[in-house]
Amino acid sequence: MIVGILKEIKHQENRVAMTPAGAEILCASGHRVLVEKGAGIASGFEDQAYAEAGADLIENPADIYAAAEMIMHVKEPQPSEYDLIREDQIVFTYFHFAAYEELTNAFIKTRGIALAYETIEDTYGRLPLLTPMSEVAGRMAVQEAARYLERSHGGRGILLGGVTGVSPATVLILGGGIVGTNAALMACGLGAKVDLLDTSLDRLRYLSSIMPKNCTPLMGSPAMIREKICEADAVICAILVPGAKAPKLITREMLGSMKPGSIIVDVAIDQGGCAETSRPTTHEDPVYEVDGILHYCVANMPGAVPMTSTMALTNATLPYVLAIANSGLLEAVREYPEMQKGLNIVRGHVTCKGVAEAFDLDYTPVEKSFYE
Protein backbone atom coordinates (compact mmCIF):
# COMPACT_ATOMS: atom_id res chain seq x y z
CA MET A 1 0.00 0.00 0.00
CA ILE A 2 1.07 3.57 -0.62
CA VAL A 3 0.69 5.59 2.60
CA GLY A 4 0.92 9.38 2.62
CA ILE A 5 2.14 11.40 5.61
CA LEU A 6 1.23 15.07 5.27
CA LYS A 7 2.48 18.23 6.89
CA GLU A 8 -0.17 19.71 9.17
CA ILE A 9 -1.53 23.01 7.89
CA LYS A 10 -4.03 23.81 10.63
CA HIS A 11 -2.92 26.95 12.45
CA GLN A 12 -0.18 26.23 15.01
CA GLU A 13 -0.43 22.45 14.69
CA ASN A 14 3.10 21.14 15.15
CA ARG A 15 2.51 17.40 15.33
CA VAL A 16 3.01 14.92 12.49
CA ALA A 17 1.04 11.71 11.97
CA MET A 18 4.02 9.34 12.10
CA THR A 19 7.60 9.28 13.36
CA PRO A 20 10.51 8.10 11.19
CA ALA A 21 10.57 4.93 13.31
CA GLY A 22 6.98 4.19 12.31
CA ALA A 23 7.75 4.90 8.66
CA GLU A 24 10.68 2.48 8.84
CA ILE A 25 8.41 -0.32 10.08
CA LEU A 26 5.93 0.31 7.25
CA CYS A 27 8.69 0.33 4.64
CA ALA A 28 10.22 -2.85 6.06
CA SER A 29 6.81 -4.50 5.65
CA GLY A 30 6.91 -3.82 1.93
CA HIS A 31 4.85 -0.64 1.76
CA ARG A 32 5.70 2.71 0.20
CA VAL A 33 5.59 5.75 2.46
CA LEU A 34 5.32 9.25 0.97
CA VAL A 35 6.25 12.03 3.38
CA GLU A 36 5.71 15.67 2.59
CA LYS A 37 8.96 17.61 2.94
CA GLY A 38 9.15 19.38 6.27
CA ALA A 39 6.26 17.41 7.76
CA GLY A 40 8.14 16.38 10.90
CA ILE A 41 10.42 19.34 11.51
CA ALA A 42 8.18 21.06 14.08
CA SER A 43 8.06 17.78 16.01
CA GLY A 44 11.83 17.44 15.96
CA PHE A 45 12.04 14.90 13.10
CA GLU A 46 14.17 15.97 10.15
CA ASP A 47 13.51 15.01 6.52
CA GLN A 48 16.76 13.04 6.48
CA ALA A 49 15.46 10.75 9.22
CA TYR A 50 12.46 9.83 7.07
CA ALA A 51 14.67 9.28 4.03
CA GLU A 52 16.95 6.99 6.04
CA ALA A 53 13.84 5.09 7.18
CA GLY A 54 13.05 4.34 3.53
CA ALA A 55 10.32 6.93 2.91
CA ASP A 56 10.09 9.06 -0.24
CA LEU A 57 10.13 12.81 0.37
CA ILE A 58 7.54 14.67 -1.72
CA GLU A 59 7.44 18.43 -2.25
CA ASN A 60 3.80 18.91 -3.22
CA PRO A 61 0.98 17.57 -0.97
CA ALA A 62 -1.30 17.30 -4.01
CA ASP A 63 1.07 14.68 -5.41
CA ILE A 64 0.71 12.67 -2.21
CA TYR A 65 -3.08 12.85 -2.39
CA ALA A 66 -2.92 11.75 -6.02
CA ALA A 67 -0.75 8.69 -5.32
CA ALA A 68 -1.59 7.46 -1.81
CA GLU A 69 -4.25 4.89 -1.03
CA MET A 70 -4.28 5.99 2.61
CA ILE A 71 -3.62 9.53 3.86
CA MET A 72 -2.50 10.10 7.44
CA HIS A 73 -3.05 13.39 9.22
CA VAL A 74 -3.22 14.54 12.83
CA LYS A 75 -5.99 17.11 12.49
CA GLU A 76 -8.98 17.19 10.17
CA PRO A 77 -8.42 18.08 6.48
CA GLN A 78 -8.57 21.81 5.85
CA PRO A 79 -10.71 23.46 3.12
CA SER A 80 -7.76 23.63 0.72
CA GLU A 81 -7.56 19.82 0.85
CA TYR A 82 -11.21 18.90 0.29
CA ASP A 83 -10.91 18.73 -3.50
CA LEU A 84 -7.75 16.59 -3.27
CA ILE A 85 -9.44 13.67 -1.50
CA ARG A 86 -10.34 10.91 -3.95
CA GLU A 87 -13.22 8.46 -3.98
CA ASP A 88 -12.39 5.34 -1.91
CA GLN A 89 -9.24 7.00 -0.51
CA ILE A 90 -8.80 6.29 3.21
CA VAL A 91 -8.13 9.37 5.34
CA PHE A 92 -6.99 8.36 8.83
CA THR A 93 -6.94 11.24 11.33
CA TYR A 94 -8.75 13.04 14.15
CA PHE A 95 -11.90 14.33 12.43
CA HIS A 96 -14.29 15.42 15.23
CA PHE A 97 -17.01 15.73 12.57
CA ALA A 98 -19.76 16.53 15.08
CA ALA A 99 -18.14 19.91 15.75
CA TYR A 100 -17.66 20.83 12.06
CA GLU A 101 -20.68 20.78 9.76
CA GLU A 102 -18.78 22.23 6.78
CA LEU A 103 -16.13 19.52 7.04
CA THR A 104 -18.80 16.82 7.34
CA ASN A 105 -20.66 17.94 4.22
CA ALA A 106 -17.41 18.41 2.28
CA PHE A 107 -16.16 14.92 3.12
CA ILE A 108 -19.48 13.33 2.15
CA LYS A 109 -19.04 14.85 -1.32
CA THR A 110 -15.54 13.36 -1.74
CA ARG A 111 -16.91 9.79 -1.43
CA GLY A 112 -13.71 9.00 0.45
CA ILE A 113 -13.42 6.86 3.57
CA ALA A 114 -13.07 8.74 6.86
CA LEU A 115 -11.43 6.63 9.56
CA ALA A 116 -11.50 8.73 12.72
CA TYR A 117 -8.94 8.15 15.45
CA GLU A 118 -11.29 9.47 18.11
CA THR A 119 -14.18 7.00 17.61
CA ILE A 120 -12.25 3.73 17.38
CA GLU A 121 -13.59 1.95 20.47
CA ASP A 122 -12.78 -1.48 21.86
CA THR A 123 -15.17 -3.93 23.54
CA TYR A 124 -14.43 -2.36 26.95
CA GLY A 125 -15.47 1.10 25.77
CA ARG A 126 -11.88 2.34 25.63
CA LEU A 127 -10.72 4.72 22.89
CA PRO A 128 -7.19 3.51 22.11
CA LEU A 129 -6.26 6.22 19.60
CA LEU A 130 -7.73 9.06 21.63
CA THR A 131 -6.10 7.84 24.85
CA PRO A 132 -2.53 9.07 24.22
CA MET A 133 -3.67 12.58 23.28
CA SER A 134 -6.16 12.57 26.16
CA GLU A 135 -3.30 11.77 28.52
CA VAL A 136 -1.30 14.68 27.12
CA ALA A 137 -4.28 17.06 27.19
CA GLY A 138 -5.26 16.12 30.74
CA ARG A 139 -1.79 16.79 32.06
CA MET A 140 -1.41 19.96 30.02
CA ALA A 141 -4.77 21.26 31.27
CA VAL A 142 -3.39 21.49 34.79
CA GLN A 143 -0.16 23.15 33.62
CA GLU A 144 -2.19 25.78 31.76
CA ALA A 145 -4.58 26.28 34.67
CA ALA A 146 -1.64 26.84 37.00
CA ARG A 147 -0.12 29.36 34.57
CA TYR A 148 -3.28 31.37 34.08
CA LEU A 149 -4.04 31.50 37.77
CA GLU A 150 -0.94 33.68 38.03
CA ARG A 151 -1.74 37.38 38.28
CA SER A 152 0.68 38.20 35.47
CA HIS A 153 -1.54 36.15 33.15
CA GLY A 154 -4.80 37.66 34.34
CA GLY A 155 -5.67 35.13 37.03
CA ARG A 156 -6.45 35.30 40.74
CA GLY A 157 -2.80 35.26 41.73
CA ILE A 158 -2.97 31.91 43.47
CA LEU A 159 -0.40 29.11 43.55
CA LEU A 160 -2.01 25.80 42.65
CA GLY A 161 -0.37 23.85 45.46
CA GLY A 162 -0.29 26.60 48.08
CA VAL A 163 2.55 26.79 50.63
CA THR A 164 2.97 26.09 54.32
CA GLY A 165 0.16 27.80 56.20
CA VAL A 166 -1.69 28.81 53.02
CA SER A 167 -4.50 26.80 51.43
CA PRO A 168 -3.90 25.31 47.96
CA ALA A 169 -6.12 26.05 44.98
CA THR A 170 -9.31 24.07 44.43
CA VAL A 171 -9.63 22.32 41.07
CA LEU A 172 -12.98 21.03 39.80
CA ILE A 173 -12.73 18.37 37.09
CA LEU A 174 -15.81 17.37 35.10
CA GLY A 175 -15.39 13.83 33.81
CA GLY A 176 -13.42 10.91 35.21
CA GLY A 177 -12.20 9.43 31.93
CA ILE A 178 -8.65 9.51 30.58
CA VAL A 179 -8.46 13.32 30.42
CA GLY A 180 -10.02 13.82 33.82
CA THR A 181 -7.97 11.10 35.51
CA ASN A 182 -4.69 12.47 34.17
CA ALA A 183 -5.69 16.00 35.08
CA ALA A 184 -6.60 14.90 38.60
CA LEU A 185 -3.34 13.03 39.11
CA MET A 186 -1.36 16.04 37.88
CA ALA A 187 -3.29 18.51 40.04
CA CYS A 188 -3.02 16.26 43.08
CA GLY A 189 0.71 15.88 42.50
CA LEU A 190 1.07 19.66 42.60
CA GLY A 191 -0.80 19.74 45.90
CA ALA A 192 -4.18 21.14 44.83
CA LYS A 193 -7.51 20.21 46.39
CA VAL A 194 -9.35 18.28 43.68
CA ASP A 195 -13.05 17.50 43.19
CA LEU A 196 -13.50 14.95 40.41
CA LEU A 197 -17.04 14.46 39.09
CA ASP A 198 -18.34 11.52 37.06
CA THR A 199 -21.76 9.91 36.57
CA SER A 200 -20.68 6.25 36.75
CA LEU A 201 -20.65 4.66 40.20
CA ASP A 202 -18.28 1.94 38.96
CA ARG A 203 -15.87 4.57 37.69
CA LEU A 204 -16.12 6.53 40.93
CA ARG A 205 -15.32 3.38 42.94
CA TYR A 206 -12.26 2.80 40.77
CA LEU A 207 -11.15 6.43 41.09
CA SER A 208 -11.62 6.31 44.87
CA SER A 209 -9.23 3.35 45.00
CA ILE A 210 -6.42 4.93 42.94
CA MET A 211 -6.55 8.65 43.67
CA PRO A 212 -4.49 10.43 46.34
CA LYS A 213 -6.24 11.66 49.46
CA ASN A 214 -6.43 15.24 48.15
CA CYS A 215 -8.82 14.09 45.41
CA THR A 216 -12.52 13.58 46.16
CA PRO A 217 -14.47 11.62 43.50
CA LEU A 218 -18.11 12.75 43.50
CA MET A 219 -21.29 11.82 41.65
CA GLY A 220 -21.80 14.41 38.95
CA SER A 221 -25.10 16.25 38.48
CA PRO A 222 -26.18 19.80 37.63
CA ALA A 223 -26.73 20.45 41.33
CA MET A 224 -23.24 19.18 42.23
CA ILE A 225 -21.66 21.31 39.52
CA ARG A 226 -23.49 24.40 40.82
CA GLU A 227 -22.33 23.62 44.37
CA LYS A 228 -18.69 22.99 43.53
CA ILE A 229 -18.08 25.53 40.79
CA CYS A 230 -18.38 28.43 43.21
CA GLU A 231 -15.53 26.93 45.30
CA ALA A 232 -13.23 26.26 42.34
CA ASP A 233 -10.21 28.29 41.32
CA ALA A 234 -9.86 26.20 38.16
CA VAL A 235 -12.43 24.12 36.29
CA ILE A 236 -11.30 21.48 33.79
CA CYS A 237 -13.93 20.22 31.35
CA ALA A 238 -13.05 16.64 30.40
CA ILE A 239 -16.35 15.24 29.08
CA LEU A 240 -16.38 13.15 25.90
CA VAL A 241 -19.30 11.55 24.09
CA PRO A 242 -17.56 9.62 21.27
CA GLY A 243 -18.49 11.02 17.87
CA ALA A 244 -21.05 13.48 19.28
CA LYS A 245 -21.13 17.03 20.58
CA ALA A 246 -20.08 17.61 24.18
CA PRO A 247 -22.91 18.42 26.61
CA LYS A 248 -23.13 22.01 27.86
CA LEU A 249 -22.63 21.47 31.58
CA ILE A 250 -21.53 25.01 32.52
CA THR A 251 -24.12 27.69 31.82
CA ARG A 252 -23.47 31.40 31.42
CA GLU A 253 -25.38 31.92 34.67
CA MET A 254 -22.93 29.71 36.59
CA LEU A 255 -20.06 32.07 35.74
CA GLY A 256 -21.62 34.64 38.05
CA SER A 257 -21.09 32.33 41.03
CA MET A 258 -17.41 31.67 40.24
CA LYS A 259 -14.48 33.48 41.84
CA PRO A 260 -13.26 36.45 39.75
CA GLY A 261 -9.99 35.54 38.04
CA SER A 262 -10.64 31.81 38.10
CA ILE A 263 -10.22 29.79 34.91
CA ILE A 264 -12.11 27.26 32.81
CA VAL A 265 -9.92 24.92 30.74
CA ASP A 266 -12.29 23.33 28.22
CA VAL A 267 -10.50 20.26 26.88
CA ALA A 268 -13.77 19.23 25.18
CA ILE A 269 -13.65 22.19 22.80
CA ASP A 270 -12.84 19.84 19.89
CA GLN A 271 -16.37 18.50 20.34
CA GLY A 272 -17.98 21.90 20.86
CA GLY A 273 -17.00 22.48 24.49
CA CYS A 274 -18.72 21.90 27.84
CA ALA A 275 -19.34 25.56 28.70
CA GLU A 276 -21.93 27.73 26.98
CA THR A 277 -19.32 30.48 26.84
CA SER A 278 -16.57 28.33 25.27
CA ARG A 279 -15.25 29.02 21.77
CA PRO A 280 -12.10 27.65 20.12
CA THR A 281 -8.83 29.50 20.68
CA THR A 282 -5.25 28.95 19.52
CA HIS A 283 -1.85 28.57 21.14
CA GLU A 284 -1.07 32.05 19.84
CA ASP A 285 -4.10 33.59 21.57
CA PRO A 286 -5.23 30.95 24.06
CA VAL A 287 -7.44 32.77 26.57
CA TYR A 288 -10.28 35.23 26.73
CA GLU A 289 -12.46 36.57 29.54
CA VAL A 290 -16.21 36.32 30.05
CA ASP A 291 -17.81 37.85 33.16
CA GLY A 292 -14.43 37.96 34.90
CA ILE A 293 -13.67 34.28 34.23
CA LEU A 294 -10.76 33.26 32.02
CA HIS A 295 -11.44 30.63 29.34
CA TYR A 296 -8.67 28.47 27.87
CA CYS A 297 -10.13 26.66 24.85
CA VAL A 298 -7.22 25.63 22.62
CA ALA A 299 -8.53 22.97 20.25
CA ASN A 300 -5.20 21.20 19.73
CA MET A 301 -3.55 21.31 23.13
CA PRO A 302 -1.12 18.41 22.45
CA GLY A 303 0.24 20.40 19.49
CA ALA A 304 2.22 22.47 22.00
CA VAL A 305 4.32 19.41 22.90
CA PRO A 306 4.62 17.84 19.43
CA MET A 307 7.58 15.56 20.01
CA THR A 308 5.92 13.81 22.94
CA SER A 309 2.54 13.80 21.20
CA THR A 310 3.81 12.45 17.87
CA MET A 311 5.68 9.60 19.52
CA ALA A 312 2.64 8.69 21.63
CA LEU A 313 0.31 8.88 18.64
CA THR A 314 2.52 6.70 16.45
CA ASN A 315 2.74 4.07 19.20
CA ALA A 316 -1.04 3.87 19.21
CA THR A 317 -1.86 4.11 15.48
CA LEU A 318 0.86 1.94 13.97
CA PRO A 319 -0.78 -1.49 14.59
CA TYR A 320 -3.94 -0.32 12.81
CA VAL A 321 -1.99 1.27 9.95
CA LEU A 322 -0.02 -1.94 9.45
CA ALA A 323 -3.19 -4.04 9.50
CA ILE A 324 -4.81 -1.86 6.81
CA ALA A 325 -1.67 -1.75 4.70
CA ASN A 326 -1.02 -5.50 4.96
CA SER A 327 -4.55 -6.79 4.49
CA GLY A 328 -6.77 -3.98 3.17
CA LEU A 329 -9.42 -2.11 5.09
CA LEU A 330 -12.15 -4.78 5.16
CA GLU A 331 -9.84 -7.51 6.39
CA ALA A 332 -8.26 -5.12 8.90
CA VAL A 333 -11.70 -4.35 10.34
CA ARG A 334 -12.26 -8.07 10.79
CA GLU A 335 -8.90 -8.35 12.57
CA TYR A 336 -9.54 -5.25 14.68
CA PRO A 337 -13.36 -5.00 15.09
CA GLU A 338 -12.96 -1.76 17.05
CA MET A 339 -12.02 -0.05 13.79
CA GLN A 340 -15.60 -0.37 12.58
CA LYS A 341 -16.68 2.41 14.96
CA GLY A 342 -13.87 4.54 13.56
CA LEU A 343 -15.51 4.56 10.14
CA ASN A 344 -17.48 7.82 10.27
CA ILE A 345 -18.17 8.45 6.57
CA VAL A 346 -17.85 5.81 3.85
CA ARG A 347 -18.39 6.57 0.14
CA GLY A 348 -20.80 9.40 0.81
CA HIS A 349 -22.70 7.65 3.62
CA VAL A 350 -22.57 8.82 7.25
CA THR A 351 -21.78 5.68 9.23
CA CYS A 352 -21.42 7.22 12.72
CA LYS A 353 -24.71 7.81 14.56
CA GLY A 354 -23.32 10.71 16.59
CA VAL A 355 -22.33 12.60 13.43
CA ALA A 356 -25.66 11.88 11.74
CA GLU A 357 -27.59 13.10 14.78
CA ALA A 358 -25.44 16.25 15.13
CA PHE A 359 -26.54 17.53 11.72
CA ASP A 360 -29.79 15.63 11.14
CA LEU A 361 -28.25 13.50 8.37
CA ASP A 362 -29.22 10.02 7.24
CA TYR A 363 -27.36 7.24 9.06
CA THR A 364 -26.14 4.18 7.16
CA PRO A 365 -24.67 1.10 8.91
CA VAL A 366 -21.04 0.51 7.94
CA GLU A 367 -21.75 -2.89 6.39
CA LYS A 368 -24.35 -1.43 4.06
CA SER A 369 -22.16 1.51 3.01
CA PHE A 370 -19.46 -0.77 1.58
CA TYR A 371 -21.88 -2.45 -0.78
CA GLU A 372 -23.73 0.55 -2.22
Full DSSP string of 37-69: TTTTGGGT--HHHHHHTTPEEES-HHHHHHH-S
What's the confidence (pLDDT) of residue 364? Answer: 93
What's the fold here for domain 129-304?
Rossmann fold (3.40.50)
Is 198 annotated to bind a ligand? Reply is yes
List beta partners, residue 174: 197, 237
Q: Count CB neighbours of 32 within 10 A.
A: 17
Going by pLDDT thresholds of 50, 70 and 90, the confidence category of residue 271 is confident
Estimate to the nearest angstrom the gap between the alpha carbon of 237 and the chain centroid.
Answer: 13
pLDDT higher than 90, residue 244: no
Cα 269 to Cα 300: distance, rounded to the nearest angstrom: 9
96 part of the active site: yes
What's the confidence (pLDDT) of residue 68? Answer: 98
Q: 292 or 367: whose pLDDT is higher? A: 292
Cα 139 to Cα 144: distance, rounded to the nearest angstrom: 9
Tell me the pLDDT tens digit for each residue of 305-340: 999 999 999 999 999 999 999 999 999 998 899 999
What's the confidence (pLDDT) of residue 242? Answer: 75
Domain boundaries, the chain: 2-124+309-370, 129-304
Q: What average pLDDT does the structure give for the chain? A: 95
- Determine what percent of the chain is predicted with pLDDT higher than 90: 89
The active-site residue out of 195, 233, 266, 270 is 270
Q: 271 or 172: whose pLDDT is higher? A: 172
Going by pLDDT thresholds of 50, 70 and 90, the confidence category of residue 372 is low
Is 301 annotated to bind a ligand? Reply is yes
Is 268 annotated to bind a ligand? Reply is yes
Q: Count CB neighbours of 288 within 10 A.
A: 15
Going by pLDDT thresholds of 50, 70 and 90, the confidence category of residue 367 is confident
Cα 33 to Cα 1: distance, rounded to the nearest angstrom: 8
Is 200 annotated to bind a ligand? Reply is no
pLDDT higher than 80, residue 112: yes
Q: Sheet of 263-266: strands edge to edge? A: 215-219, 193-198, 170-174, 234-237, 263-266, 293-296, 287-290
Q: 146 or 303: whose pLDDT is higher? A: 146
CA atoms lying within 13 Å on the CB side of residue 258: 29
Q: Sheet of 113-116: strands edge to edge? A: 56-58, 32-36, 2-5, 70-72, 90-93, 113-116, 343-346, 349-350
Is 126 annotated to bind a ligand? Reply is no
Contact 179, 137 (CB under 8 A): yes
CA atoms lying within 13 Å on the CB side of residue 189: 9
- 337: DSSP letter: G
Is 134 annotated to bind a ligand? Reply is yes
The active-site residue out of 96, 195, 266, 349 is 96
Tell me the pLDDT tens digit for each residue of 170-205: 999 999 999 999 999 999 999 999 999 999 999 999
Is 236 annotated to bind a ligand? Reply is no
What average pLDDT does range 76-98 have in this prediction? 95
Residue among 34, 13, 14 nearest 23 (CA): 34
Is 279 annotated to bind a ligand? Reply is yes
What's the confidence (pLDDT) of residue 370? Answer: 65
Q: Considering the domain 2-124+309-370 in this protein, what is its CATH number? A: 3.40.50.720
Is 33 annotated to bind a ligand? Reply is no
Distances (CA, A) of 243 to 109, 298, 301, 344: 20, 19, 19, 8
CATH fold match for the domains 2-124+309-370 and 129-304 = yes
Going by pLDDT thresholds of 50, 70 and 90, the confidence category of residue 371 is low
Is 158 annotated to bind a ligand? Reply is no
Range name among 10-14, 279-283, 337-341 with the lowest pLDDT average: 10-14
What's the confidence (pLDDT) of residue 99? Answer: 84
> Cβ contacts of residue 188 below 8 Å, gap of 6+?
194, 211, 212, 214, 215
What's the confidence (pLDDT) of residue 306? Answer: 95
Going by pLDDT thresholds of 50, 70 and 90, the confidence category of residue 105 is very high
